[in-house]
Amino acid sequence: MRLQDEPDLPPQINIVPMIDVIFAILTFFIMSTLFLTRSEGLPVNLPKAATGQAERPAQVTVTINKSGQMFLDKQVISIEQLENGVRQKVQPQQQMMVVINADEGVNHGQVVAVMDKVRKVEGAKLAIATQKP
């Protein structure tokens, strides 16, 4: 039997255990992402060099305008000459990035034909230029 004079205590929610669980989950995700990084080699302390530069591969651009005309580094070229034109620009034992700059109105088949010709050249890597919306 309760006395009428006792005040009712309002219900309380203890959030300390919930904060502990959130921090434990956060710690798990942080630790797991640290192990997901891909290392290209063994960890070493690299020497410092003031004259060092980041090496970018040589780049050549194949442009196809809306009318279907093709250019290799701003010089008009035909699809038949494209493979030899790219092959002449590739240096031996060196990678070259070939960027395809095609107008969005160009026929899909023509772009695929250009990609096929570029893939035949050894040492040429292919990239397609796009624009952010």
For the domain that residue 103 is a member of, what is the CATH number? 3.30.420.270
Res 4: pLDDT: 65
Domain count, the chain: 1
Angle (nearest 5°) at CA 95 between 65 and 114:
30
34 falls within a domain: no
User: How many angstroms separate the CA atoms of 65 and 128, rounded?
Assistant: 14
Residues above pLDDT 70, as percent of the chain: 82
41 falls within a domain: no
Nearest-CA neighbor of 79 among 130, 124, 116? 116
14 falls within a domain: no
Res 89: pLDDT: 82
17 falls within a domain: no
Question: How does pLDDT run across 55-81, given as a tens digit for each residue?
Answer: 667 788 888 888 888 888 888 888 888
Residue 113: domain span? 58-128
112 falls within a domain: yes
The crossing angle, in degrees rounded to 10, of helices 108-119 and 79-89 is 40
96 falls within a domain: yes
How far is CA 87 from each of CA 32, 59, 72, 80, 97, rounded to the nearest angstrom?
45, 13, 12, 13, 12
108 falls within a domain: yes
Does 39 score more than 60 pLDDT? Answer: no
82 falls within a domain: yes
Which comes out higher in pLDDT, residue 44 or 110? 110
